[in-house]
Amino acid sequence: MTAVVRFAPSPTGFLHIGNARTALFNWFYARHHRGRFLLRIEDTDRARSTQAAIDAILDGLTWLGIDWDGEAIYQSTRLERHAEVAHALLARGRAYRCYCTPEELSAMREQAKAKGQPPRYDGRWRDRDPSEAPAGVAPVVRLKALLSGDTVIHDRVQGEVRVGNAQLDDMVLLRGDGTPTYMLAVVVDDHDMGITQVIRGSDHLTNTFRQVQLFNAMEWTAPAYAHLPLIHGADGAKMSKRHGAIGVDAYRELGFLPEALRNYLLRLGWGHGDDEIIATEQAIAWFDLDAVVRSAARFDMDKLTALNAHYLRIADDERLAGLIAERLGETLDEAARRRLIQGLAGLKQRARTLVDLADSARIYAAGAAVPIDAKASALLDPAARTMLLELEVHLASAPSWAAADLEAAVRGFAAARNLNLGEVAQPLRAAVTGRLVSPSIFDVMVVLGRDLTLARLGAIDP
């Protein structure tokens, strides 16, 4: 049987980190088994679903490198099919119309609360004659759930899980206005899409018992289930914004590469021995559900950042130059782009994010008038500025513009004035880069070239 899985987000907000991991695990599973990965947008909650959220989900998946097979399916286009199944259950005697008023339902909840019990519908219209229905009440359609025995799930991650059917009440399938509930729509769509394996967060486990009953009521084969562990913060507490519970788009803005986030999410609840750095192709070859753990995963921003630094170091320089140019907010001419590509080898060894890298790359993107920060400016006192203008003349006649030769020329210039190398090289760095920290100043000068380096020195007023 061909494996068919789905990612089914509700477009009521951004693509958060837990949903991104769920999508990724489904995607890896499908690609490993040479199956299909389908995308279903569960937009039946029309009041809360927004086009902006849909766009954020699609953009987030695309940025992460998660592609789906076929067109995305929008649940809101299938309302008639959902209602059709509910009416089929009515015809089979596996569902019934409930005419409870809002006041009656509120009273049931209060009674259950007073007894310390979870709020449950008491089944009062389960076998009642519809002729007794009160006037003016639009009925809902409820599933006639089993009253005895257990519903059992053989979960690929959690193992065998069971619940007594007496704990599951008769859930609503169609609301009074005829629209389907989430529980009905999910089951109908999973069946019609041929889903063979549902992989989702363990917070959906309670829903699964109810959904399995609905599959059985329709005499459909339920998919297999795998409920992933939740993600907690590094301190073990429930995930929150301070732990990194932000949208995938926010990680992009923070300067993370998609391959780094993809690798990190893969390791949240799944492992392959001691391997930490796992390329996508290798992950597809290795991934399966038997290596997913039951315990909650812990999200650690420091580990993600360290992993991102690794991927920055091995990333293609032309690609990085394009990403940096976007962040600099300016169009680079061809000369600046070439400088940037050439200089990245020295810059990306220290960077942890694209934000870091873009900031340090300004030394190559700027022209003759490089911005000078406060610390560098403080070093460029009148004596230093006068010295640099002399150095400019000295370097202008340098026969070679190689790093070793430039260092030798600056050492000779310093020795002739009874100065050590640092007393010349630091003001030189401040004038040429506009800051006190950079790769080797002689390597930077090689990348900038003779003309631009001398132009920056010449721009320093005595």
Q: At residue 442, what are phi and psi to the nearest 5 degrees? A: -75, -35
Structure-token match 């599973």, residue found? 29
| Separation of alpha carbons 10 and 48, rounded Å | 9
d(CA 454, CA 13): 52
Query: What letter represents residue 318's amino acid?
Result: E
113 is catalytic: no
Whole-angstrom distance, CA of residue 268 vs CA of residue 95: 41
Residue 134: Cβ within 10 Å count: 9
Give the separation between CA 99 and CA 4, rounded to whole angstroms. Answer: 39
Q: What is the token pair recorded at 415?
A: 């020795």
- 238, 241, 303, 375: the active-site residue: 241
Tokens 């907010």 belong to: 329
Q: Of 279, 336, 345, 326, nearest to 307 (Cα)? A: 279
For 74, phi then psi, to 5°, come to: -105, 120
**Which structure tokens are listed for 101?**
């008023």
CB atoms within 10 A of CB 184: 26
Q: Indicate the pairing of strand 73-74 with strand 95-98.
A: unpaired
CB-based contacts of 247, cutoff 8 Å, min separation 6? 13, 14, 15, 16, 17, 56, 60
Dump the DSSP string for 286-309: H--GGGB-SSPEEE-HHHHHHHHH
Write the single-letter amino acid at 42. E
In total, the chain counts a number of residues equal to 462
The total of other beta-carbon atoms located within 10 Å of residue 114's CB is 8
Amino acid at 304: L
Q: Which residues are catalytic?
A: 241
